[in-house]
Chain A
Amino acid sequence: MTSTDKLKGLLFLPRAQRESPEVVSAIRQIVAEDPEAMHFFVRWSHFEASLLWYVNEFGTDRNVVVTHVRKEVRQDRLIRFLVMAASAVLVVMIGFQVCIFTIRYSVSPLQVHPIVGRIAEVDGVIWPESRQGTQTLVRQGDRFFSRQGRFVVHMDSGALVACSGPVEMQVMNSMQLRLHDGAICIQVPERARGFEVQAKDWSIVDLGTIFGIRTSRNGSSEVHVMKGLVQARSDVVGQQEIIAGQGAGLAANGQITGLFTTDPGPFTAQLASLAGVAGSSKNLVVLNNPPRSVKFNGHVLRDQACLFREQEQPLPANSEIMIFRASPGIYSSKNLPERTTIPSGTMLTTYLLHAQNSGSGPVSGHVTFDGVIAGLALSSPDLNLTDAHFGHPDVLYPASTDPHFSGAVRGTLVQESTDFIEISPDLKTLRFKLSCATAIKAFDQIRIFVLPPRN
């Protein structure tokens, strides 16, 4: 505020106030100190003197003034009333909206952020955001950022998203997610056909498959199809189909940089997660796709064993099975595990551990599952009996009628004194040492029955 403004304020005061010593002193000080204010003061004094000169010539009609003031009072009251009424209406409207929102949120929170999946098989994950550490339900729009470790998102649509290592992604809905950084593997059942992964300017649409996609922050991506078919879409190239065994480089500008043979290497951990395997030793190969045959000479490895997932289904009614119980401990031909009966209705996932070694020594290693091991089929009769129900439909298994199988011992421990297995205290890890050297046909197999993971 300038000195002139201050002076104006003082000169406009009611006469009694304006002539008080304090106000006069303030006016004097302003006028003495500021030449501009002094000019204004002189002009105002003349203005007021002139005004006085003129107004004394007017007649006074008190009624006119009273009427005017009353009118102003009415106007003021009306304005005040309108402002208060408007404020009240506004407060009521806001309150109403808050109530509606609160009711909607409390009655139907799913409409705000529908749950579209859950997180399971969490192993060694470091979440930078503590909220995610305790979160098991996945809501629409949730963003996940893990520095390390692995976890699997079970989408309500049926799709499984296996994540390992540093990953940043956002779940858009049960059929769509956006990958910002890292590598993930997706397994899509038939009912979730059309599941979409967005990466930068690309959209990868599943057509019934298992595929991996990795994206870096610079915008480039790679998609590797392990099984089935996907469609890569961008505004630049339109649609490009990528089949099983094929991979494609996807540039940030929407161009395809090249097609190549699938390399499952970067997705090993994610693929194992999809199979329900938490970890394994180097000399145990976890197969993404089952071998065509596990007959003698059907799948031969050197100094290695292999493991593949066969089935996940409940034991049918009236069809209890008797196998070896999985209890913590070390077992051999002289110390076999106890026999146990698994009741019908039990949900089981089966894996076949197969070792036909072309090398000279035994094959040893370990495998850890996400679920608890319920039992083992260790003997040839147990394996033969459970092939039909728990075997993979696309795999050829040895059978007693098979001429190549004659005289061979398919299982382990039983009749094989040099083999041994160990089950960990948490019942999740199986260690093995298989000689693969008994009788004429030197191969060993174990069918592992695993209960679903608790989380």
Chain B
Amino acid sequence: MVLNQADAEDLLQDVGVTIWEKLDEYDSSRDFTAWACGIARNKVLSFNQLASHRLVQSSDLLDRLHAVVSSDVKVHEHQHQFLLGCISRLSETERQLLQLRYAQESSLKEIARDTGRSIHALYKSLQRVHLKLFECVSRRLNRWGEG
């Protein structure tokens, strides 16, 4: 729903706080997940509408995305499991590159500077690792789907 990791963490925290605050208003006869998702939906929408650079600006798009997410829950669960297997097949260097990409982007810039390689070239290397992983996961998902 958002493209920025920090935004996602802020949102998650905000949704948790709101659920805690409104827990008294929760009707125990209703589905808790649906109630909580409704709160999260409103939070995402109001959060994204605050700035034009945020991804989801309309409730229509949010609902459609939510529908897709809901329909593919099983797929995403398996994808999560398969990913671990695929990561284990990466070399240590490839795993380190991924780590730098997601955890320490500043280090990636430093490495580019230290090695005399452009940041663009480093991202190309990362792109290759991403594709390798994504294709590995896709193959395993296809086999699972056929089975």
A-to-B contact residues, CB < 8 Å: 12-15, 18-21, 24-25, 27-28, 31-32, 38-39, 41-44, 46-47, 50-56, 58, 60-62, 64-70, 72-73, 76
Complex CA–CA separation, A146 to B97 (angstroms): 77
Could you tell me if A64 and B133 are in contact, using CB atoms closer than 8 angstroms? no
Q: Contact check: which of B61, B84, B96 meets A61 at CB < 8 Å?
A: B96
Closest residue of chain A to B98 (Cβ to Cβ) is A55
Minimum distance in angstroms from A78 CB to a CB of chain B:
14
Contacts of A25 in B (CB 8 A): 52-53
Cβ-closest chain B residue relative to A57? B99
Residues of chain A within 8 A (CB-CB) of B5 are: 52
Number of B residues, CB within 8 Å of A: 52
Are A52 and B117 CB-contacts (below 8 A) given A47-B83, A64-B93, A64-B96?
no
Say if the beta carbon of B69 comes within 8 Å of chain A: yes
B55 at the interface (CB under 8 A from A): yes
B115 touches A43 (CB 8 A): no
Complex contact A19–B4 (CB within 8 A)? yes
Q: Which residue of B lies closest to A16 (CB)?
A: B105
Cα distance, A72 to B48, chains bound together (Å)? 40
Extra contacts besides A28-B57, A28-B61 (5): CB < 8 Å? A18-B3, A32-B64, A42-B69, A46-B79, A65-B111
- Which of B3, B68, B107: most chain A Cβ within 10 A? B3
Q: Which residues of A contact B89 (CB under 8 A)?
A: none
- Judging by beta carbons under 8 Å apart, are A12 and B127 in contact? yes
Task: Give B residues with C-beta under 8 Å from A.
Answer: 3-5, 52-57, 61, 64-65, 68-69, 72, 75-76, 79-80, 83-84, 87, 92-93, 95-105, 107, 111-112, 114-117, 119, 121-123, 125, 127, 130, 133-134, 137
Taking the closest CB of chain A, its distance from the CB of B11, in whole angstroms, is 13
A20 vs B117: C-alpha distance in the bound complex, in angstroms?
24
A to B CB contacts below 8 Å, 21 in the list: A12-B123, A19-B4, A24-B54, A25-B52, A28-B55, A28-B56, A38-B64, A38-B68, A42-B69, A47-B79, A47-B137, A51-B83, A55-B98, A58-B95, A60-B103, A61-B96, A65-B100, A66-B115, A68-B97, A69-B117, A76-B121
* Complex partner residue of B80 from A19, A32, A50, A69, CB under 8 angstroms: A50
Report A-chain residues with C-beta under 8 Å of the C-beta of B116: 73
Give the dominant DSSP class at A's interface. helix
Q: List chain B residues, Cβ under 8 A from A55.
A: 87, 95, 98-99, 101-103
A50 touching B79 by the CB < 8 A rule?
A: yes
The answer to whether B84 and A54 touch across the interface, beta carbons within 8 angstroms, is: yes
Which residue of the partner chain B has the closest CB to A70? B115
B96 and A19: CB pair below 8 A?
A: no
Option from B3, B84, B97, B117 in Cβ contact (under 8 Å) with A19 = B3
Given contacts A24-B54, A69-B111, contact A60 B105 (CB under 8 A): no
CB–CB A72/B75 < 8 A: no
Contact with B119, one of A14, A68, A72 (Cβ below 8 angstroms): A14
Shortest CB distance B88–A (Å) = 10
How many Å lie between the Cα of A51 and that of B136 in the bound state? 13
10 closest Cβ pairs, A-B complex: A68-B93, A21-B53, A46-B76, A69-B115, A50-B80, A65-B96, A55-B99, A42-B68, A50-B83, A64-B96
Give the residue name and chain of the A residue nearest to B130 (CB).
Answer: A12
